[in-house]
Amino acid sequence: MANEPEYDVVIVGGGAAGLAASIYAVRAMLKTLVIEKMAIGGQILYTGEIENYPGFPEPIGGPELAMLYQKQAERFGVEFKYDLIASLDVEGPVKNVIGHEGQYTAKTVIVASGGEHNKLGVPGEEEFSGRGVSYCATCDGNFFKDMDVTVVGGGDAAMDEGTYLTRMTKSVTVVHRRDELRASKILQQRAFANPKMEFIWDTAVEEIKGNGDVNGLVLKNLKTGEVSERPTEGVFIYIGFHPVNDYLRESLKIDAAGHVVSDLQMSTSVPGVFTAGDVRQHSDRQLANAVGDGVAAALAAYRYISAA
């Protein structure tokens, strides 16, 4: 048939969720394509060491694990293309994934484009990412045992992760641009009651400094304009996280925060389109969760194709 789709499954996103989905899809004898805009691996590429992923008693580097995922997928016959997806046309039985480099047709689509942490955009942030700068306390907190660390932000994530960090660090200093927190009252109460946490108000981070690893911050008081330096051995940044969803806003139902709405089988508002990982609603933003999502999405795509 002239309008027969080229693939059984097209997966948008080459992070942990997309790679897990691809392995399960291709092992179900589905012709599978993964489209990634930059580098295979997604958020784990920014994680220095991973030590909470089942099956790895010794820590493994994020980039190393990403390479293993890709090798495994390629061994089973997953195809990879690098392209930036502009939009989806998925209402009909043939799904069309439209990229800047070409168009890809499939019987099903798995949206696994993940999310991105909002960045401070200050000198040193990129340079020390994975070497003292982190966006995930549950991922990296254990590397900062008995150290003095800084949390940037004042919302729920900053308080939740900051309180978590007090379990293993010597101290946690919260730097916030305003003079009061945005976090929920219960999280505020826990933070204020924690003897290991202190707060610097009305202050922005101007620069992250270090020599190989982070060793200090340049801070600016937004009310007085005073600039100061403060030593720290780690910086955890929580100023928001946004799903990568520009290409699908017109085609799928998303929630107020921009996440794809789905059920437990990863089905979205459009039949034959599934989702997985950080881009979906209620994601825990953990590696193991993303892998589980990808598996569920691939199995759902297989059932959808089988029932057609």
What are the two backbone dihedrals, phi and then psi, of residue 116, each rounded to the nearest 5 degrees? -135, 140
Reported for 3-7, long-range contacts at CB under 8 A and 24+ positions apart, including other chains, are 3/94, 4/94, 5/94, 5/95, 5/105, 5/106, 5/107, 6/31, 6/33, 6/104, 6/105, 6/106, 7/31, 7/32, 7/33, 7/79, 7/104, 7/105, 7/106, 7/107
**SS3 sequence, 221-253?**
ECCCCCEEEEECCEEEECCCEEECCCCCCCCCC
In the residue annotation, 140 being an active-site residue is answered as yes
Beta bridge partners of 49: 61
In the residue annotation, 293 being an active-site residue is answered as no
In the residue annotation, 136 being an active-site residue is answered as yes
Among 131, 104, 112, 116, CA closest to 23: 112
Q: Alpha-carbon distance 273 to 90, whole Å?
A: 8
Catalytic residue among 83, 89, 140, 160: 140
Catalytic residue among 136, 160, 278, 293: 136
What are the two backbone dihedrals, phi and then psi, of residue 13, each rounded to the nearest 5 degrees? 120, 125
Among 13, 251, 260, CA closest to 114: 13
**CB environment 93-109: b (16+ within 10 A), e (fewer):** ebbbbebeeeebbbbbb
Catalytic residue among 8, 139, 160, 278: 139
User: Mind telling me the catalytic residues?
Assistant: 136, 139-140
